[in-house]
Structure 1
Amino acid sequence: MNLLRSVQAVAGASDPDGAGQIDWTAVATAAKSATDPGDLDLSEAERSGYATDVRDARDRLRSLGGLDFDVPATIEIQSRHHWIDANVETFRRVMRPVEAEVSVAFPNATRMVNTGSMAFVLSFLGSHVLGQYDPLLLAEGDDADHGLYFVHPNIVAAARELDVDYPRFRRWIAFHEVTHAAEFGAAPWLSDHLESRMEDGLEMLANGRFDRDAFQDLDVAMTAVEGYAELLMDRAFDAEYADLRAKLDARRRGGGPLARVARRLLGLGMKRRQYERGAAFFEAVADRRGLAAAGTVWDRPQHLPTAAELDDPDRWLARVDP
Structure 2
Amino acid sequence: MAETIADDTTETASSIPVDVDWAFAASVGRRIARPGPRVTRYTMEQARAELTDAAVRAEGPVREVTGLADGLRVPAARVVDRAGWIDAASTSMPAMVSDSDEPATGVGAKLAGLQAGGLLAFLSSAILGQYDPFTVDAETGEPGVLLLVAPNIIAVERQLRAAPADFRLWVCLHEVTHRVQFSANPWISGYMRDTVGSLAGGDEDSMTEMLARVTEALRSGKPREKGMIGVMQLLQSPEQYAAFERMLALGTLLEGHADHVMDAVGPAHVPSVEQIRAGFDARRTAARNPLQRLFRALIGMDAKMAQYVRGKAFVDEVVDTVGMERFNTIWTSPDTLPLMSEIDEPSTWIDRVL
Q: Same fold (TM over 0.5)?
A: yes
Shift of 1:249: 3.0
8 Å Cα contact 1:133-1:180 kept in structure 2: yes
Identity of aligned residues (%): 30
Shift of 1:232: 1.0
Shift of 1:42: 4.8
Pair 1:297 & 2:330 matched: yes
Q: Deviations over 1:125-181 (max 9, x none)?
A: 011110111111899xxx542111111000000111222222211111000000001
1:183 is aligned to 181
Q: Deviations over 1:96-123 (max 9, x none)?
A: 589x9xxxxxx74x55643332121010
Match of 2:29 among 28, 31, 38: 31
8 Å Cα contact 2:19-2:112 kept in structure 1: yes
Aligned length: 293
Match of 2:279 among 234, 244, 247: 247
| Separation in 2, partners of 1:21, 1:197 | 17
Structure 1 window deviating more from structure 2 (66-75 vs 86-95): it is: 66-75
| Separation in 2, partners of 1:231, 1:278 | 9
How do 1:123-202 and structure 2 match up within 5 A? 123-136=121-134, 144-202=142-200
Q: Deviations over 1:262-293 (max 9, x none)?
A: 21111111111111111110111111122323
Shift of 1:95: 5.3
Matched AA of 2:91: E
Q: 1:22 to 1:55 in 2, by over 3 A?
A: closer
Shift of 1:54: 1.5
Shift of 1:220: 0.8
Q: Deviations over 1:212-248 (max 9, x none)?
A: 1111111111111111111111101223523323332
Match of 2:84 among 61, 82, 85: 82
Pair 1:219 & 2:248 matched: yes
| Separation in 1, partners of 2:19, 2:180 | 36
| Separation in 2, partners of 1:41, 1:205 | 51
Structure 1 window deviating more from structure 2 (292-301 vs 158-167): it is: 292-301
Residue 41 of structure 2 aligns to a residue in which SS?
Answer: coil
Taking only aligned residues, the RMSD between alpha carbons, in angstroms, comes to: 3.0
TM-score between both structures, scaled by the size of structure 1: 0.80
Q: Deviations over 1:21-47 (max 9, x none)?
A: 543333222211112453583556534
8 Å Cα contact 1:187-1:298 kept in structure 2: yes
| Separation in 2, partners of 1:40, 1:93 | 35
| Separation in 2, partners of 1:112, 1:48 | 38
Pair 1:309 & 2:342 matched: yes
1:41 is aligned to 41
Residue 202 of structure 2 aligns to a residue in which SS?
Answer: helix
| Separation in 2, partners of 1:91, 1:178 | 21
| Separation in 2, partners of 1:233, 1:205 | 42
Provide structure 1 residue ranges, at least 5 long, that are not aligned to the other structure: 1-19, 101-106
Match of 2:94 among 92, 95, 102: 92
Residue 201 of structure 2 aligns to a residue in which SS?
Answer: helix
| Separation in 1, partners of 2:274, 2:202 | 42
8 Å Cα contact 1:62-1:68 kept in structure 2: yes
| Separation in 2, partners of 1:40, 1:76 | 20
Matched AA of 2:338: P
Q: 1:45 to 1:22 in 2, by over 3 A?
A: closer
Q: 1:287 to 1:205 in 2, by over 3 A?
A: farther
Residue 134 of structure 2 aligns to a residue in which SS?
Answer: coil
Q: 1:41 to 1:260 in 2, by over 3 A?
A: farther
Shift of 1:49: 2.1
Matched AA of 1:148: L
TM-score between both structures, scaled by the size of structure 2: 0.74
1:234 is aligned to 263
Shift of 1:85: 0.7
Matched AA of 1:67: L
| Separation in 1, partners of 2:76, 2:40 | 18
| Separation in 1, partners of 2:199, 2:88 | 24
8 Å Cα contact 1:65-1:232 kept in structure 2: yes
1:52 is aligned to 53
8 Å Cα contact 2:92-2:132 kept in structure 1: no
Which has the bigger relative contact order, CA under 8 A and spacing at least 6? Answer: 2
2:223 is aligned to none
